[in-house]
Structures are given as structure tokens and as C-alpha cells.
Structure 1
């Protein structure tokens, strides 16, 4: 599936000039508060990424698709934070995702239930600040006003609401539900799971990225 230019930060090695028009596409549909998504992401980011950089960068593009899981209310908030980083510093998106997955338990249901939405945004913006993204600018995109918006609207959203709507629309088109889900060249790749080891990833890449 195509990737809008404004979401280019979702692509691993987004700035690489070596990616050719005939490349394969690997899409990782992940939720930041899903433990299984964290497991898959961590393997890809720490162990598989160097292999792709060395052997497959001219043949394969990898895209992280943000998949909100609404039964965890904080899922929307953490994905909004990632969308804010994507807007402000797309080159930091994967690094922010790594930091967010590392701290994901801080945003599980029991750890957000007694704080306000804007307070959660403050904690998320701080994570962005820790990796070199302007914390105040991230927070500015996330905060929800307690005053009526234009025309008296009381449901105006924030600075990344439209981006979140678009991402959700795209994911619904392909019918993704569970996380993690992996697509390869536009079709669901059910052989890949969160339990894939680095060695299994390497074997899969050797067989499929040709």
C-alpha cells in the first residue's frame, strides 16, 4: 500500500537513496501498548535492522503502520504522540517508537486510569524530548483545550487528529485487527509472528527478498 509523503518517517531508512522503484514492501502493523507488538518491534529494530541495512536495503522497504487498539483507551494517546513526532521530526519516528515501546507499561490501562488526558500527553512529550524532539512543540500538537473551539465546537480534537483519522482509515481498508500483523507486498504474511527470532527473520528474508 502506498505511503503518503507526510508519513515518510514511518519507513525504515526513509532517507536512503538506494531504494529502487521495484522494491518489496514489508508493513508492520503495531500498537504501542501491545506487548506482542513490542516484542516484534524490538527484534526488528535491534537485530534485523542491521541485516536489512547490509543486505536488503536496495530491495526492501519496511513501514511501521500505527494500529490503534481502542479497547485500551491510552492506545489512541500514544499513537497521537507518535503522529506528533512524525509531523515534527520524521527522522526520529523509529527512535521514538523504540523509546515508547521500552516504556509501554507506563501507559497500560492501570497506569493511566487516574490521570487526565493532557497529563498523559505531558509524559509522552517528555519521552520525545528525551530523544531530541522539541518537547514543547510535541505537547502543543497534543494538548486538548478545555475551552470551546471555533464555532463553539466541543469536539475539535488536537493537532494530529486528522493524521490519526487518515491512518485509521488506511488500516481499516485492509482489515487489520490483531497486533502485530505483518503484510508483505500487499498480502498478509501469517508465517511471521512476534516470537520470530533474529535467525528466523534472516531465514525469511533470504527466501523472500530476492
Structure 2
């Protein structure tokens, strides 16, 4: 599935082809549909980002033939899921090069955004905490909060469902997931086909075996 240029930060590439290459690079694509408040998504992201990605970088043949795409999978039965995903969209807008580092930091702090830990705070208070995580990885905290905050008054036309600065982008992401019928997080799609054999609990050795087989 195509990745809109404005979401380019969701792509993790390991080897940039030369602009003078005679033909486009033949790359495999591993798409990761993850939810920021899903424990299994956190486990898979940590393995992918901190174990598998370094392993790919160390092997030139893999680095030149594989790219990862982080697809945000909002799970609305956890209300804070939407808010956490909005924060990542804000990072894409402000500092796309920080997107994967921000996601890593947010997954590490995900329990702070579980249902019990957000029930007694306002929506904007949750955004404040998310913007601080952005600041931790080098994103402008005030600018990030500015994109996320919801006003406490009606718009000029009287509208009360005003959304925030990233609402429209999040709508696009939700539509894209629906188009491919993804429901469960995490879900992995490899070259356009759901890779149901991949588990969030896979070890480095299991990933190495799978990559060896599928990147041959």
C-alpha cells in the first residue's frame, strides 16, 4: 500500500539508492500495524526497532532490499489510543526524522496512557504529557501541544466538534487501515500479504531465520 509523502517519516530505510541508479531498487516492504497502547505492539516494536533493525543494518544485502513501514492502528476501545496516535501524527508534521525515536519512547511509557492512568485527567492534560515525550526526543514541546490541544469554545461557525491540528491526517491513516481490512494489533504485512506466521514474541534468532528465508 502506498505511503503518502506527508507520512514519509513512518518509513524506516537502511540503504538509500543512488539517484543515478539505472533502475528503481527492488525492495521488500514489511508493514507493521501497531497500536501505542497495545502491550503486544510494544513488544513487537521493541524487537523490530532495537534488535531487528540493527541486525538488518549490519547485513548489506538485507539493508539494500528491505524497508519497514509503521502503520498506526488505532484501537478505539481504549480511548487514549486515539490521543497517543494523534501525538505521533504531530511528530510526523513537526519532526518526521524523530518519528521512530518518539515511537520508541512512547511505547516505553505506554502504561502511563492505559485506561486507569488517564481516566481522571482531561484530554488536553493527556496531550501535555505526550508533548513532553516529544520534547524528550527533540520535538518542540509547545508546537506539538499546539497541534494537539482542543479549544474549550465553539468555532466561529458554531461548530463544537472542532478536532485539532492533526485530525484530518489521522482520518487518512484510519481509512488506509480499513482499506486493507486490518483489525488486530499487531498485524504484519509483507509485500502486500498478511504474514500471519510472525509473532510479537519472536526472538532475534527467529527473525534472523525468517529474514534469511524471505529476503533470499
Does TM-score exceed 0.5, indicating one fold?
yes
- Counterpart CA distance in 1 for 2:86 and 2:104 is 15
Separation of aligned partners in 1, 2:13 and 2:31 = 14
- Contact kept, 8 Å, 2:37 with 2:107, in 1: the verdict is yes
**Equivalent residue, structure 2, for 1:195:** 201
Deviation at 1:137?
Answer: 0.5
Q: Any unmatched runs of 5+ in structure 2?
A: 19-23
Q: Is the 8 A contact 1:18 1:57 kept in 2?
A: no
Aligned to 2:28: 24
Select between 52-61 and 196-205 the one with higher mean Cα deviation. Answer: 52-61
Secondary structure at the aligned position of 2:71 is classed as: strand
Q: Deviations over 1:84-134 (max 9, x none)?
A: 001110000000000000000000000000100000000000000011110
1:181 matches 2:180 = no
The reply to whether residue 11 of structure 1 matches residue 11 of structure 2 is: yes
TM-score relative to the length of structure 2: 0.94
Alignment of 1:48-67 (within 5 A): 48-55=52-59, 56-67=62-73
Q: 1:40 touches 1:195 (CA, 8 Å); kept in 2?
A: yes
Q: Which residue in 2 is equivalent to 1:71?
A: 77
Match of 1:206 among 204, 208, 212: 212
Structure 2 counterpart SS, 1:152:
coil
Question: Which ranges of 4 or more aligned residues in structure 1 deviate by more than 6 Å?
Answer: none
Q: 1:50-107: per-residue Cα shift (whole Å, max 9, x none)? A: 1112221210110010000000000000000000001110000000000000000000
Q: Is the 8 A contact 2:35 2:41 kept in 1?
A: yes
Unmatched segments (≥5 aa) in structure 1: none
Report the Cα distance in structure 1 between the residues aligned to 2:153 and 2:128, rounded to whole angstroms. Answer: 19
User: Counterparts in 2 of 1:40-119, with a 5 A limit?
Assistant: 40-55=44-59, 56-119=62-125
- Cα distance in 1 between the residues matched to 2:49 and 2:25: 24
Normalised TM-score (structure 1): 0.97
Q: Is the 8 A contact 1:84 1:160 kept in 2?
A: yes
Structure 1 distance, partners of 2:115, 2:162, is 24
Task: Give the superposition deviation at 1:18.
Answer: 2.8
**Aligned-residue RMSD, C-alpha:** 1.2
2:139 equivalent among 122, 133, 139? 133
